[in-house]
Structure 1
Amino acid sequence: MMVTTTLRQRLSDLFRADRAPAGYRPGVTLAHLRRNLGLATLEVDGVAFEIIERTESQLLMHLVLTEFVLRLPAATEGSASYEVHHSGTIRRNGIRVRCRSGNPALGRELQAQLLADTTLFQALMPLDFKRLRIDLHDQQWCVRLEHMGGSEVVNRLPAFRRYIALSPPQRTHLLQTLKGLQRLLSSF
């Protein structure tokens, strides 16, 4: 009985989600991304944002992903969470806002405003993002955008590391999207 418990504990420790993966170098991917962005500060045209690094473990590899985070005051009260994604099966043909929790009417209004803001729409359509989440909590908007670039793949077998750079056009679309979301959410 004692051997089984010890073995179970060791396996549990080995696969803990909160443990950093082997070979993870905190801050290295962020440094690559900051150079890649070419910005002295994390601010563009008065829009300040932060970048957060997180890891995603898989069997013999891990990913170091970066999220661009934008926090803004909200005129709207309440709590809500929305996911923004491209629509279309084969080709991107639009933008959809999905209500995860909270007021669905606010989500529909958010989608209508996204489609009406041509500058923001034109920046979002070619933007290669994995996740774009907009949360409302304590009269504050929090936008979390995870781009496909600005990340690192680390494999243990065979051993290699690869930083996936943010291309110049994607950099432009990303910064325009952050500015556009700041402009859009300031009206909510």
Structure 2
Amino acid sequence: MSTRDLVLVALFAAIIVVLGMLPPITLGFIPVPITAQSLGVMLAGCTLGARRGASACLLVVLLVAIGLPVLSGGRGGLAVFAGPTAGYLVGWVAGALVTGLIAERLVREGQPQLQQYLGFFLAAAVGGIGVVYLLGIAWLSYMSGKAFVETTLASLVFIPGDLIKAVAAALAGRAVLAGYPLLPART
């Protein structure tokens, strides 16, 4: 990785951490709060691409592991990885990777703007929602002892907010592509 790549990874890790400073919204019927940090995962994948976006999320996960209170609500430490939200944290890395892979393949400079927006939205929805939910719900189901289907149904309440985050990530990804392209050059 070049120095530029390292700076971008650190910058997006910082963005994810700052989004964690927004207070979480707890729902009571599921032990997973609504946070803004998943927006950072989508942004990292859409703007940095697969490798750097996943690296930014991995850096945040490592900061959590060493005990820094960088998660929403000031949480951090190894105990987080034994809790019900651990699957979502691991899902951030995979989600940013998939988001970036899709964005790198679907979005090109010179395409019509609408096509770029739709490519970024699809990338954010599949990677930032689908992949993160798959890993998060699987772990939550295991930890809670509830059926995967039951846990999935309880998690559907998060979909509208995450779709709004995916739209925001698509808008931001398109704006960055137009002004200062960061997605890796594709051949």
TM range (shorter): under 0.3
User: So what's the TM-score if we normalise by structure 2?
Assistant: 0.27
The answer to which structure has the higher strand fraction is 1
Bigger radius of gyration among the two: 1
User: So what's the TM-score if we normalise by structure 1?
Assistant: 0.27
The answer to which structure has the higher helix fraction is 2
